[in-house]
């Protein structure tokens, strides 16, 4: 949501049309896109943030921003979204959502990267509504690396840098746009949004639950982390998240 608000401000300040799943107006029609309609290539503007890869011929010519986070932290955060935070067909911490919470976070995160992902009901921040097109969480990272990460027109940035060095992160985001008065836009957006990524007390029922990178080390069992390290080994190495040495005080040198 921080990225959404930043993109929204960049587009508003520079008169760029903004298509986002979070907009009330200009939305992205994912159902049509996954059925074969190349919506993005027929429009001009900024499209995102999209929580999974969507196909379009525009990828060859567009400026692409890939904003990724340590997948182990993504999975940890997703557990709290599924059980306690996101709205959906049933209330948080009731019915099958409570059953998932009681089964525990370790089972959940391992299921989210394997075949059992399909057995979970509802969405609640998991992207399951489009699972037949985008796969489980592991599949999505593999797709990012295979399709966009190494493209010459891609800017690769990280959640960790957003939290630990917002101004540096913002400059990389702005560099992907062709805009005038970059310094003025940077100053305005930093003033408005930099404080929103500061750490606070954890609240498992708040959308901003806990922003500190590396939370998987506090929430998951060592054997679960080892299994995720094995599963994501090549992805962690490629994105700069060393499975053995990643520290929450460091900003991963993400990308090439």
The CA–CA distances, whole Å, from 106 to 13, 102, 176, 214, 226 equal 43, 11, 37, 16, 12
Claim: this prediction has a pTM higher than 0.75 = yes
pLDDT tens-digit series, residues 161-217: 999 999 999 999 999 999 999 999 999 999 999 998 876 655 555 545 566 889 999
pLDDT at 255 over 80: no
CA–CA distance, 79 with 85 (Å, rounded to integer): 9
Residue whose token pair is 């990460």:
149
- Mean pLDDT of all residues in the chain? 89
34 neighbors 194 (Cβ within 8 angstroms):
no
241 neighbors 75 (Cβ within 8 angstroms):
no
pLDDT at 247 over 70: no
pLDDT at 43 over 70: yes
pLDDT at 202: 56
pLDDT tens-digit series, residues 126-171: 999 999 999 999 999 999 999 999 999 999 999 999 999 999 999 9
Residue 132, token pair as written in the block: 């037949």
pLDDT at 23: 79
Residues 6 or more apart whose CB falls under 8 angstroms from that of 23 comprise none
Residue 119, token pair as written in the block: 């057995």
Closest CA to 253 of 243, 238, 232: 238
């Amino acid at each position: 949501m921080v990225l959404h608000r930043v993109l929204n401000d960049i587009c508003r300040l520079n008169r760029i049309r903004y298509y986002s799943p979070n907009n009330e107006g200009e939305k992205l029609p994912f159902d049509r896109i996954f059925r074969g309609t190349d919506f993005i290539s027929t429009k001009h503007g900024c499209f995102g943030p999209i929580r999974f890869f969507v196909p379009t011929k525009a990828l060859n010519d567009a400026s692409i921003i890939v904003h990724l986070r340590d997948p182990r932290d993504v999975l940890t955060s997703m557990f709290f979204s599924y059980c306690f935070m996101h709205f959906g067909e049933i209330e948080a911490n009731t019915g099958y959502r409570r059953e998932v919470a009681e089964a525990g976070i370790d089972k959940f995160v391992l299921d989210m990267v394997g075949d059992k992902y399909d057995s979970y009901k509802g969405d609640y921040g998991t992207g399951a509504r489009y699972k037949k097109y985008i796969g489980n969480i592991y599949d999505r990272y593999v797709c990012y690396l295979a399709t966009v990460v190494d493209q010459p027109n891609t800017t690769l940035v990280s959640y960790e840098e957003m939290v630990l060095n917002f101004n540096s992160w913002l400059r990389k985001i702005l560099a992907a746009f062709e805009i005038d008065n970059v310094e003025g836009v940077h100053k305005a957006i930093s003033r408005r949004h930099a404080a929103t990524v500061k750490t606070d007390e954890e609240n498992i029922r708040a959308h901003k639950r806990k922003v500190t990178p590396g939370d998987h080390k506090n929430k998951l069992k060592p054997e679960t982390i080892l299994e995720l390290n094995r599963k994501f080994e090549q992805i962690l190495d490629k994105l700069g998240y060393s499975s053995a040495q990643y520290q929450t005080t460091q900003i991963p040198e993400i990308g090439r």
